[in-house]
Amino acid sequence: MKHLHWTVLSTFFFAFSIAFPALAEEAIDPQRDYHSYANVDDVAMSHVYLNLKADFENGRLSGYSELTLSHLNPEATEVVLDTKALEISSVEALAGETFIQAKFTLGETDDDLGAPLTIAIASGTQKIRVHYNTTEASDGLNWASPEQTHDKIHPFMYSLSQSIYGRTWFPHQDTTRIKVTYSADIETPTELLALMTADNDPNTERDGLYHFDMPQPIVPYLIALAIGDFAFTPISERSGIYAEAGIIEAAAYEFADIEKMIQAVEAIYGDYAWGRYDLLIMPPSFPFGGMEHARLSFITPTVITGDRGLVGLISHELAHSWSGNYVTNGTWRDLWLNEGFTSYVENRTVESIFGKAQASMELADSFVDLMEEMDNLEPGEEILAIDLRGQHPDAVFTEIPYSKAQLFLSFLESRVGREGFDKFVKGYFADFAWSTITTDVFETYLMEHLGKDFPGAFTEAEIQTWIHEPGYPDFGLKPSSAAYDVVDAAVANLAAETVKAADIDMSDWIIHQRIHFVDGLPEDLNPETIAEVDTAMGLSTSGNIKLAYQWMLYAAKTGYAPALDARLEQLLTEQGRIAYTKGLYRELLKTDPERAETVYAIAKPTYHPITVWEVDRVFGDAK
């Protein structure tokens, strides 16, 4: 996911010591998934088949999950699955060519891990089936009402399984230690279309019965389902856009460079391995920026601005087709291997498509975001190979695995040169293709390849500092941008009242510079100057939601009523992305709590439950 999409969940902690009381005193086992009950060292699933019916009236999926098993321990007599908030009705095991009832037990429920489902099997059992239905507590699913969608005609259901929410909508071994292929048969209302992270056919007949096959192995959290009233428009022979009819034309314009992006990554790191790459535009209530599901990225509509200024998010989700989906973190502790490489590849793609100036601005933004975030993190949270024992795995989703890891890779590039580093990264993707990798394996690989190819370019001590020490290394890069220097000078002149806002030449500024300008405005500007900035830049009416958010944030901090009156309610009620809601409510509560409460009462019914949870916490903290 694009950075900060899941940062909002990083404060979810669980009583892990109850389930694993001795862990606090043990050394970390780098190969162990501390967030799964699955016994994958004995019996591991290799293929998942889902047969499910979507019940929109009751907001649930019902049917069965069929798992094909590989026996690593021939003496194993049970297989353990991860489940949470599921109603299990029966379990079957394949005996010969017939499924027969199998004994099973559902263990004690942990608030975050859920409950282990232990199934008795005979030696060599090839398949098991778990019959079940989801519940209202299945928080890996969202059933968006028509009011929460763009067109406001039909409902829109979708799943989000990363990190450990897949176990809330189908029973399986919910761990990144394994990869599986999958297939599915999904029944929906006939007026709706089902899509999965599999072989979606743009020309499929809409009849309420849909079959899917995913021949490439993926980690289970990449299995995803969406059901809604989707139209499709092609971008190239292998890419296109799924969206509600009312937004698909704008989306196709915004993301017209998808094929160029695919080719840009292929030119450096090798062929795209997944067949098609399509985007699904999510409802406005979608709480995050994007999710990199293989073959079908889920994308927030908030990046559809009409100026293509925020499409860097697409290059991030696309980059996951190499880093994250093709080569995947072995445990959640190793997320930095997913997101760091992805952020690095994203920046290289931006440079290839949009030029070095924009790439340098985005890298400088990453550095600033990292420095700001570390001001609010504990030392243990600043480590790439973080110790997540005793925490929900979502605690890993800060700027650390994104920006710090990206800057680590940029540091390596600076030491060995771009040509040498490109060769290393391409080899890394090829050598670990279709598999998962842990930090310790990567460290060995790094020293045996890049270290040997470029002796003396960096030391093992420097690598250890990057990966295992808190903070930012004093020998790390400190990215800056000449394009931002121009903006900073303009802000300084405005603050010194040596220039009027209308006289600042912004004609060749891209959206990144405009956002940087607003972000840099002093809070003690006089109201007349603030109004002049608003008029000169058209901030209160901007169609770029990131720029509008930055302006509303500034208006909330300074109490600039004209901007708040003109745009605040619209911004907070027409979308539910946490990145553009949580911070704004927080600032508004400091200066105008009555307005904050009034707007939230209107907006709350349209928000995703996770957004509601986050904003409720903001209001709670303000009391």
- Cα–Cα distance measured from residue 383 to residue 387, given in angstroms and rounded to the nearest whole number: 8
pLDDT given at position 614: 83
The separation between CA 184 and the C-alpha centre of its own chain, rounded to angstroms, equals 24
- Interacting residues of 569 by C-beta distance below 8 A, sequence separation 6+: 599, 602
Provide the total of helices (H) and of strands (E) in the chain, helices listed first: 20, 21
- Residue 502: half-sphere exposure toward Cβ, Cα within 13 Å: 4
Query: pLDDT at residue 10 above 70?
Result: no
Work out the pLDDT band at 55, boundaries 50, 70, 90: very high
- Cα–Cα distance measured from residue 453 to residue 448, given in angstroms and rounded to the nearest whole number: 8
Give me the phi and psi of 127, to 5 degrees please.
-145, 150
pLDDT given at position 609: 78
Query: pLDDT at residue 4 above 80?
Result: no
pLDDT given at position 22: 41
- Interacting residues of 174 by C-beta distance below 8 A, sequence separation 6+: 36, 38, 81, 82, 161, 164, 166, 167, 220, 221
- Interacting residues of 358 by C-beta distance below 8 A, sequence separation 6+: 350, 351, 510, 512
Residue indicated by tokens 């999926």: 61
CA angle 279, 280, 282 (to 5 degrees): 140
pLDDT given at position 21: 40
Tokens of 345: 């590849």
Contact 338/384 with Cβ under 8 angstroms? no
Query: pLDDT at residue 403 above 50?
Result: yes
Domain 36-319 part of CATH 2.60.40.1730 = yes
Query: pLDDT at residue 17 above 60?
Result: no
Select from 3.40.920.10, 3.40.50.740, 1.10.390.10, 1.10.443.10 the CATH code of 335-468: 1.10.390.10
Work out the pLDDT band at 25, boundaries 50, 70, 90: low
Select from 3.40.1550.10, 1.25.40.320, 3.40.50.300, 3.40.605.10 the CATH code of 482-622: 1.25.40.320
What is the SS3 assignment for 424?
A: helix
What mean pLDDT comes out for the span 189-194?
Answer: 97
Q: Rounded to whole angstroms, what are the CA distances from 450 to 185, 415, 440?
A: 45, 10, 15
- Cα–Cα distance measured from residue 11 to residue 378, given in angstroms and rounded to the nearest whole number: 12
What mean pLDDT comes out for the span 54-67?
Answer: 98
Query: pLDDT at residue 461 above 90?
Result: yes
pLDDT given at position 148: 85
Predicted confidence (pLDDT) per residue in 272-329, tens digit: 999 999 999 999 989 889 999 999 999 999 999 988 888 889 999 999 999 999 999 9
What is the SS3 assignment for 326?
A: coil
| Average confidence score pLDDT of the chain | 93
Query: pLDDT at residue 20 above 70?
Result: no
Helix, strand, coil percentages for the chain (3-state, nearest 5): 45, 20, 35
Predicted confidence (pLDDT) per residue in 74-121, tens digit: 999 999 999 999 999 999 999 999 999 999 999 999 999 999 999 999
pLDDT given at position 2: 61
pLDDT given at position 8: 39
Q: Rounded to whole angstroms, what are the CA distances from 429 to 60, 319, 365, 403, 531?
A: 38, 12, 27, 20, 51
Predicted confidence (pLDDT) per residue in 582-604, tens digit: 989 999 999 999 999 999 999 99
The separation between CA 72 and the C-alpha centre of its own chain, rounded to angstroms, equals 32
Give me the phi and psi of 616, to 5 degrees please.
-55, -40
Gap between the terminal Cα atoms of the chain: 32
What mean pLDDT comes out for the span 213-221?
Answer: 98
- Cα–Cα distance measured from residue 446 to residue 467, given in angstroms and rounded to the nearest whole number: 12
Work out the pLDDT band at 607, boundaries 50, 70, 90: confident
Domain ranges of the chain: 36-319, 335-468, 482-622
